[in-house]
Amino acid sequence: MTNLDVCFLPAHRMLEMISKGEISAVELLDCHLDQITKINGKINAIVTLDEDRARSTARSIDQRISQKSPMRILEALPVAHKDLTVTKDMRTTFGSPIFENFVPDRNALIVDRLQDSGAVTIGKTNTPEFGAGSQTFNTVFGTTRNPYDLDKTCGGSSGGAAAALAAGLIPIADGSDHGGSLRNPASFCNVVGLRPSTGRVPTWPNASAWYPLSVLGPMARTVADISLMLSAIAGPDLRCPLSIMESPNIFQQGLIRDFKGVRIAWSRTLGGIPVDDEVLGVIEGAVRGLEDLGCIVEEVDPDLEEADEVFHVLRAWHMEST
């Protein structure tokens, strides 16, 4: 198996290789660093890279494994954090020249949870300034490009994360979503981005703890890896009043289940939003797949005509207040 082959394995397969001794944490890291060296200059997905820190962490993991310590949920998986997410002792710019040289003295809660679960922080992924936009560019680092076509956008605002996943630079990534920032770039880059329910992944530090629209969430190349990552980053935190109190262990129970009778609503246009015919064809195929699983699928047409205007007002208020 080549380094490139390893980089495009599902994260859960990488974990299996680590647990069986088929690859070390340092070797897994080196595979991804090699891919970053070859590809990142073309797509500009990872904008801050700390190889020395990552190697030190990977060596510590190999030592843990040699001592027969229990495997953690994300043991040895390389991860890069969105550049909106404060990361201790690592440059975090928020995509803005105002914070171009800002180095936090603490981690965000999601970073702590990823690292405590064994993930290896390698750097930061690009974002538009303060995450405001469905494209990924800023005056600090420039534009992130779509790995499938360098002339096309990767989407945003978690575009650096989506592009890095699609190019095999990392197997998992964190992102955030206010109005599509996990889902939009995932769809553009053919990966998976899940916007969880408010409070599923607590946000701390958080300047507006009661604001429900902006959430953190997982990104990966497969749904199974999304579930794996959620089992590490979900769960309540006393500093976050909107936390869902349910244990994150539910995401370790597997995805295979009986879907017979599950009710699902779907819409062709969400009340009149333009949808490309090719995209609609994919959605219709998914509908048929859900019906084959025994789901009760009903077409609906919600009135979301003013949703975009409402979102822009709420986002402006949120940014002004923070």
Q: Kind of pairing, strands 78-82 and 172-177? A: parallel
The yes-or-no answer on residue 157 being catalytic is yes
117, 181, 214, 243: the catalytic one is: 181
Query: Are 50 and 122 a contacting pair, CB within 8 Å?
Result: yes
320 confidence band (pLDDT: 50, 70, 90): confident
Mean pLDDT of the chain: 96
Q: What are the structural domains, with CATH classification, of the chain?
A: 3-256 (3.90.1300.10), 258-322 (no CATH)
pLDDT computed for residue 274 by the predictor = 86
24, 117, 157, 176: the catalytic one is: 157
Query: Are 170 and 43 a contacting pair, CB within 8 Å?
Result: no
The yes-or-no answer on residue 60 being catalytic is no
Q: Look at the block and give the residue holding tokens 């890896």.
A: 225
In percent, the amount of the chain with pLDDT more than 70 equals: 100
Q: Look at the block and give the residue holding tokens 């916007």.
A: 195
How many Å apart are CA 151 and CA 158, to the nearest integer?
A: 18
* pLDDT surpassing 80 at residue 316: yes
Tokens standing for 88? 């201790």
pLDDT computed for residue 157 by the predictor = 98
The yes-or-no answer on residue 82 being catalytic is yes
CA neighbor of 53 nearest in space, from 142, 115, 110, 4:
115
Q: Which of 220-224, 225-229, 266-270 bottoms out in mean pLDDT, i.e. has the lowest?
A: 266-270
Query: Who contacts 16 (Cβ-Cβ below 8 Å, separation ≥6)?
Result: 22
Q: For residue range 127-148, what is the model confidence (pLDDT) as tens digits?
A: 999 999 999 999 999 999 999 9
82, 117, 158, 214: the catalytic one is: 82
pLDDT computed for residue 22 by the predictor = 98
Beta-bridge partner residues of 177: 215
